[in-house]
Amino acid sequence: MATSQHAAPGSNNAGSPSRPDAPVGERIAAGEGCLGVELGSTRIKACLIGPGGEVWATGSHEWENHYRGGLWTYGLDEVWDGLAASHEALVADARRRHGVEIRSYRAIGVSAMMHGYLAFDRAGELLTPFRTWRNTNTGPAAAALSELLAFNIPLRWSAAHLYQAVLDGEPHVGEVDFITTLAGYVHWQLTGRKVLGVGDASGMFPIDSAAGDWDAPMLAAFDALIAEGGRTAPRGSLRDLLPQVKLAGQEAGRLTEAGAARLDRSGRLAAGIPLCPPEGDAGTGMVATNAVAPGTGNVSVGTSIFAMVVLDGPLARPHPELDLVTTPSGDPVAMVHCNNGASELGAWAGVFGEFASALGAGPAGAGLIDPDRVFEVLFRAALEGEPDGGGLLAYNLLSGEPVVGLTEGRPLILRTPDSRLTLANLMRAQLYAAFAALALGMRVLASEDVRIDAIYGHGGIFKTEAVAARLLAAAIGAPVGVAASAGEGGAWGIALLARYLEAAQAGLSLADFLTQNVFSDAAAQVTAPQPEDVAGFAAFLKRYEAGLAIERAAVEAT
């Protein structure tokens, strides 16, 4: 395996830089592409980009969480198998499209699902299975920390997971030497550096945006709480257990030989490539939609759904519906996070796809028809539905949903004798259900008079033109923009942050870098709320709130 080192961000291992007008294959061979990898809830993606964010190659690998011992988790062996598989797919894509073998990159970035709990001992051994953001067993800890700090600590934050383990007297607590997120773990294994981008860090413990670091008084308060409890406590202070915080544009380490071997099992990838700070999926979604300046925001839809709005200043008071996090540059952000996004939509699309195939739709002998085509047909049908979904009521709650006060969920579709069950109404109700909890959280932002100049949609749900955007606009009462890049995902966003390493050295802010280098010619299609949709969604949401008692009864009964 090659071991030549990068001298600085922007240099490469593959020879002299190519001409700016050189073919893409030549530029890839010269090591000029930036690699982004993101570990999402259901897919691990890899994306190779050029200087302006143009996509040169992609790869992906499907995976799924497991419900074991009452907790949602992924195995660490699955992390590395999936990363290697997605990288191998990207290399194959570059070979197919450009006739070139990849041996180096200009820079690399790692992103993953935010929050959760990965705890290690001094030897670097995992002490308990990875606890993901989806777990809602941390209620007592989150409530106690929120009261202590006068700051909303959500159930999924790493600090809540750690303190809940303390409250529960879990044996591993006394051996904890380091805690991090999934992105932080992967970055650590690739570089040997225990660091974390500030956006991802802000989902572990509160951040002081002015300092660009952990909030020192809150750290002291947490340590004092642990000391007073008389329970088994972690080794050292909380600061000692947490990763070092890094801002976008700061180099966060270089790929080691061992890291290169884990990412690229062919042995061709060179060590020494610089990495940007590892980030969470919320931050990469903001980057991918150019929503990092005050007054801008985005809605990202995947297994979960969340809205991020960059603030002009602090909120008047804490709100349990809002997380206070940061952009990858450390600016304060109000986040409305809902645990349940598009998974139930995917399940219905799967059923309809199977039915279409059973009828013989699609190419002969091809089996299931193209899932993207199924989604397109179903989404377009939703636009033909009645504005309120025909009186139907749907819940997409596969897991607990803190925004509506549920620790568990049950997907449901309900109708009264006089409701109209049609394909169009069913799909409109399902899309409304995906946005309902988010709409309740966004009400709180409105009560704080938070300025929102633009909201951008992000994620595969927005690929079908003007469907999800139109219904989301109705749900939040604001225009929704969707750029051509909206479906590229977080792997593209973290690749842009890797590319930003050089621009930051030149003194360019992240917002200016994105506007000038990536989005200067990217016009977004903006969909304004339509009055009939707004009224229809309001009627649906009224039913949704009234019917939450049905959800609670379903949880108790099953």
The pLDDT tens digits for 302-331 are 888 989 999 988 888 888 888 999 999 999
Average confidence (pLDDT) over 282-290: 90
What pLDDT, on a 0 to 100 scale, did the predictor assign at position 484? 67
3 — pLDDT class (breaks 50, 70, 90): very low
What pLDDT, on a 0 to 100 scale, did the predictor assign at position 16? 55
Local structure of 28: helix, strand or coil = helix
Strand partners of residue 178: 120
What pLDDT, on a 0 to 100 scale, did the predictor assign at position 467? 94
- Cα angle value 200/203/209 (rounded, 5°): 75
Quick: pLDDT tens for 9-52: 444 444 456 777 889 999 999 999 999 999 998 899 999 999 99
What pLDDT, on a 0 to 100 scale, did the predictor assign at position 13? 46
Report, in this order, helix, strand and coil percent for the chain, each rounded to 5.
Answer: 40, 20, 40
Local structure of 83: helix, strand or coil = helix
pLDDT reading at 427 higher than 70: yes
Tell me the torsion sign for CA atoms 481, 486, 489, 494.
negative
pLDDT reading at 4 higher than 50: no
Is 471 in contact with 439 (CB distance < 8 Å)?
no
Determine what percent of the chain is predicted with pLDDT higher than 90.
75
Least confident stretch, 95-99, 395-399, 404-408:
404-408
Q: Under 8 Å CB-to-CB from 44, ≥6 apart: which residues?
A: 37, 38, 60, 61, 63, 82, 83, 85, 86
Average confidence (pLDDT) over 43-62: 96
Q: What is the pTM of this model?
A: 0.83
What pLDDT, on a 0 to 100 scale, did the predictor assign at position 88? 98
Q: Under 8 Å CB-to-CB from 123, ≥6 apart: which residues?
A: none
Please report how many Cα atoms fall inside a 13 Å half-sphere around the Cα of residue 345, on the Cβ side: 30
pLDDT reading at 486 higher than 60: no
What pLDDT, on a 0 to 100 scale, did the predictor assign at position 367? 54
* Token pair of 153 as six digits: 């600590």
Local structure of 124: helix, strand or coil = coil
State how far the alpha carbon of 148 is from the alpha carbons of 218, 401, 494, in Å. 9, 23, 34
Quick: pLDDT tens for 350-393: 999 999 988 887 664 455 678 888 999 999 999 999 999 999 99
Local structure of 332: helix, strand or coil = strand
What pLDDT, on a 0 to 100 scale, did the predictor assign at position 364? 47
Q: How far apart are CA 477 and CA 55, in angstroms?
A: 33
Q: How far apart are CA 163 and CA 176, in angstroms?
A: 12
Distance, C-alpha 319 to centroid of its chain: 22
Average confidence (pLDDT) over 148-163: 96
Residue 78 corresponds to which amino acid? E
Give the relative orientation of helices 548-557 and 531-546 as an angle to the nearest 10 degrees. Answer: 40
Q: DSSP string spanning 335-393?
A: EEEES--SHHHHHHHHHHHHHHHHTT-SSTT--SPPHHHHHHHHHHHHTTS-TT-TT-E
Looking at every residue in the chain, the average pLDDT score rounds to 91
Q: How far apart are CA 57 and CA 199, in angstroms?
A: 26
Quick: pLDDT tens for 202-238: 999 999 999 999 999 999 999 999 988 778 889 889 9
Domain ranges of the chain: 289-340+440-527, 343-434
What pLDDT, on a 0 to 100 scale, did the predictor assign at position 368? 62
Least confident stretch, 59-73, 213-227, 439-453:
439-453
Q: Residue 402 gets which letter from DSSP?
A: G
* CA-wise closest residue to 197 among 114, 258, 296, 75: 114
Q: What is the 3-state secondary structure (H, E, C) of 436-503?
A: HHHHHHHHHHHHCCCCCCEEEEECHHHCCCCCHHHHHHHHHCCCEEECHHHHCCHHHHHHHHHHHHHH
Least confident stretch, 86-90, 193-197, 285-289, 393-397:
285-289
> What kind and span of H or E run contains 89?
helix 76-98
451 — pLDDT class (breaks 50, 70, 90): confident
Compute how many other C-beta atoms are within 10 angstroms of the C-beta atom of residue 130: 21
Average confidence (pLDDT) over 277-287: 93
CATH superfamily of the 289-340+440-527 domain: ATPase, nucleotide binding domain (3.30.420.40)
pLDDT reading at 426 higher than 70: yes
Q: How far apart are CA 39 and CA 49, in angstroms?
A: 18
Determine what percent of the chain is predicted with pLDDT higher than 70.
94
* Token pair of 169 as six digits: 């007297």
Place of tokens 């139109």: 470
| 230-243 residues labelled b (16+ CB within 10 A) or e (exposed) | eebbbeeebeebbb
Q: How far apart are CA 141 and CA 138, in angstroms?
A: 5
Residue 392 corresponds to which amino acid? L
What pLDDT, on a 0 to 100 scale, did the predictor assign at position 11? 46
Q: How far apart are CA 75 and CA 73, in angstroms?
A: 7
Local structure of 298: helix, strand or coil = strand
What pLDDT, on a 0 to 100 scale, did the predictor assign at position 482? 86
452 — pLDDT class (breaks 50, 70, 90): confident
What pLDDT, on a 0 to 100 scale, did the predictor assign at position 525? 86
Least confident stretch, 108-122, 283-297, 484-498, 511-525:
484-498
What pLDDT, on a 0 to 100 scale, did the predictor assign at position 17? 66
Q: Under 8 Å CB-to-CB from 160, ≥6 apart: which residues?
A: 138, 141, 142, 145, 153, 154
What pLDDT, on a 0 to 100 scale, did the predictor assign at position 8? 45
Q: DSSP string spanning 198-251?
A: HHHHTTTS-EETTTTEE-HHHHHHHHHHHHHTTS---SS-HHHHSPEEE-TTS-
Local structure of 181: helix, strand or coil = coil
